[in-house]
Amino acid sequence: MKTELTHLISLQSIDLNIKKMDDELNVGNQDIEKREAEISSKKDEITSCTNRIEENGARRRELDAELEDGAVKIKDRQTKLMKVQTNREYQSLLKEIEDSKKSTKDKEEEIIYLMEQEENLQKKIDELTNLAQAEEGLLAEEQEKITKLTAAILSKKKKIEKSRNTQAKKIPVPLKNRYEQLRDKRNGIAIVGVTNAVCQGCFMNIPAQQYNEVLRGEDLISCPTCQRMMYFQAEAESEK
Ligand SMILES: [Zn+2]
């Protein structure tokens, strides 16, 4: 059992190294994804501002046309005003002219409001465009860095995986299967040291009798709490 234990410990150390590399690769990719998402959210916002400017423009053209119609109407009523016969007709025309003028004023105010809004939207678009451009520059730099780092990690990983295969072949298949299952279930760690009767995987105490068996190292003992396989690890060693 002692040889198998040594092989398992070596395999675990290799696997932890590989896991560390995978984590590094993930961190790089996540960083890129995060940057891409931020840029894309700015671009979405730019699109939505552009759409609103277009909508405003359409509404303003509508109002311009209505203003023209209104001016024609006012002129027409003013001409009629000269020729009226009755006071009632006169009052009614006056009222129409007044209403048209009021409506003209409202439309002009709406146009001013829309133009101010468009100016602000355009300012926002310019700001967002500048930010997105700067971020795209940084992203390109980061991508270059990550690509290089990824290549370096992958080439290291390839070498390590070779030695992992060699190491894995030294372990009997049932034991290796058990190791793999534990590794899957226990966050990548299947075999752990026990220091001062404490499992270094789950940090729970190991009952005295089992601890003694771990110390002897003749049988493969599992932690009663986390089920990981255990080996004795002196205190100073665990601090490394
Ligand atoms: Zn444990």
Q: Is 191 left (phi over 0), alpha (psi -120 to 50) or beta?
A: beta
Give the type of residue at 186: R
Last residue of some domain: 168, 191, 206? 168
- 132 Cα–ligand 1 center, Å: 49
Cβ atoms 219, 236 nearer than 8 A: no
Check residue 2 and give its pLDDT. Answer: 83
**Which CATH number goes with the domain that contains 127?**
1.10.287.1490
- 102 Cα–ligand 1 center, Å: 82
- Give the Cα separation of 231 and 201 in Å (integer): 11
> Are 27 and 58 members of one domain?
yes
- 239 Cα–ligand 1 center, Å: 17
- 22 Cα–ligand 1 center, Å: 24
pLDDT in tens, 169-210: 999 999 999 999 999 999 999 999 999 999 999 999 999 999
Q: Quote the radius of gyration of the chain (alpha carbons, Å).
A: 39
Range(s) of the domain holding residue 59:
21-168
> Are 151 and 43 members of one domain?
yes
Q: Is 15 exposed, middle or buried (0-12, 13-18, 19+ CB in 10 A)?
A: buried
Whole-structure pTM value:
0.73
Last residue of some domain: 168, 184, 207? 168
